[in-house]
Amino acid sequence: MVISIDSPLDMHLHLRDGRMLDIVAPLSAETFAGGMVMPNLVPPVTSREDVRSYRKRILKAQGDERFVPYMTLFFRSDYTPEFLHSVKDEILAIKLYPAGITTNSEGGVKGFDIEELSPVLGVMSDLKIPLCVHGETGGFVMDREAEFIPIYEMLAKNFPDLTIVMEHITTKEAVAALDRYDNLYATITLHHLYITLDEVAGGLLQPHLFCKPIAKRPEDRDALSNVALNAHPKVMFGSDSAPHPREKKEAPGCAAGVFTAPIALPALAQLFERNGALDNLQAFVSDNARRIYGIEPIEKEVVLENSPYLVPEIYEGTVVPMFAGQTISWRVLSVG
């Protein structure tokens, strides 16, 4: 069987910088028409100059010209209206991190004081700049996302015209929140559709499946699968593909992140086929994002075939992907 995906989009992508950028950008560009690039570099992307220069470095690294890096800014509550006006056409969204909650998020928001956040959020709402949020509290690891839902609700209520994207959701609580507020949307990763905490720590410990938010319970994965496989109009694919050098993953103090970008489309096809949902893959990996963000990506037709694909053990001797050394049942046949 052969299917064709029209301009697939990855709406949550870590491309890093330097040598890692050179390794991973071409791997996303190979099969995606575009990707929303996260701004949590060191230091984070917080100025127009940062956005422009990071975009240039990505374009240089990606190889394939037909890939659009949709740029983002790292949320700061002290951005001025003038700055936001000046930058709005160069970014697709602003990403908010609670301070210290994940990789390179030390400069994020401390507490969620609506008074402090309101000026920037108000201008974003007026300018139609979407807000993307890493929604976790500092609580117990299995509860962090569910505990954050009231903050999403507070934001959604106070800024009804602001598009708010709950990034990489992992719980049934986040799925349930989607339908309670018109302006709440979500991205879902590949790995959270495949794994629960069992795959990370239920057998032997698997650092390459360790990520933030951590994979949750079976009923959470079921809730995520339900909206993804049924192409719920408010959910989009965002891989949260997060490369780290192998030596940072395979050591005590293992960094959080699963590297999925190069195998995401075949692995999604495998999952959607198993669940009789191949017809919904186009909406999940492209159409929903176009509508939610109001974007029209470049044309790129990716043809996938259900024939065995042996996933590489490692890329460039450095980054280990999900399903490393395993065979998945779909592969990319051609990109046109």
Give, in degrees to the nearest 5, the angle at Cα 168 between 107 and 27: 90
Q: Which is nearer to its own copies, 55 or 212 (CB)?
A: 212
Is 78 one of the annotated active-site residues of the chain? no
Rounded CA gap, 60 and 67, in Å? 11
Of 328, 241, 220, residue with least CA distance to 10: 241
User: What backbone torsions phi and psi does residue 61 show, to the nearest 5 degrees?
Assistant: -80, -30
User: How many residues in the shown chain lie near its own copies by CB under 8 A?
Assistant: 27
Residue 282 Cβ, how far from its own copies at the closest point, in Å? 33
Task: Catalytic residue, from 50, 220, 240, 287: name it.
Answer: 240
Rounded CA gap, 294 and 118, in Å? 24
Task: Name the DSSP letter for residue 46.
Answer: -
Work out which of 55, 168, 172, 208 binds its own copies, going by CB under 8 A.
208
Q: Which is nearer to its own copies, 320 or 332 (CB)?
A: 320
> Rule CB under 8 A: is residue 196 a binding residue for its own copies?
yes
Rounded CA gap, 248 and 235, in Å? 31
Binding track over 226-255 against its own copies, x by CB under 8 A? -----------------------xxxxxxx
Work out which of 96, 175, 200, 285 binds its own copies, going by CB under 8 A.
200
CA distances from 299 to 10, 33, 34, 169 (A): 15, 7, 10, 28
> Rule CB under 8 A: is residue 204 a binding residue for its own copies?
yes
Rounded CA gap, 152 and 155, in Å? 5
Residue 320 Cβ, how far from its own copies at the closest point, in Å? 8
Q: Which is nearer to its own copies, 111 or 252 (CB)?
A: 252
Q: Which is nearer to its own copies, 6 or 199 (CB)?
A: 199
Stretch that binds its own copies, among 111-119, 148-156, 167-175, 200-208 (CB under 8 A): 200-208
Rounded CA gap, 272 and 3, in Å? 12
Residue 231 Cβ, how far from its own copies at the closest point, in Å? 27
Query: Which two tokens mark 25?
Result: 């950008």
Q: What is the DSSP string of 266-320?
A: HHHHHHHHHTT-GGGHHIIIIIHHHHHHT--PPP-EEEEE-S-EE--S-BTTTBP
Q: Which is nearer to its own copies, 160 or 218 (CB)?
A: 218
Query: Which two tokens mark 229?
Result: 């496989």
Q: Which is nearer to its own copies, 47 or 206 (CB)?
A: 206
Q: Segment 119-148, which members bind its own copies (CB under 8 A)?
A: 140-142
Q: Segment 271-310, which members bind its own copies (CB under 8 A)?
A: none
> Rule CB under 8 A: is residue 191 a binding residue for its own copies?
no
Q: Which residues are catalytic?
A: 240
Q: Which residues bind its own copies (CB under 8 A)?
A: 140-142, 196-198, 200-202, 204-208, 210, 214, 217-218, 249-256, 320
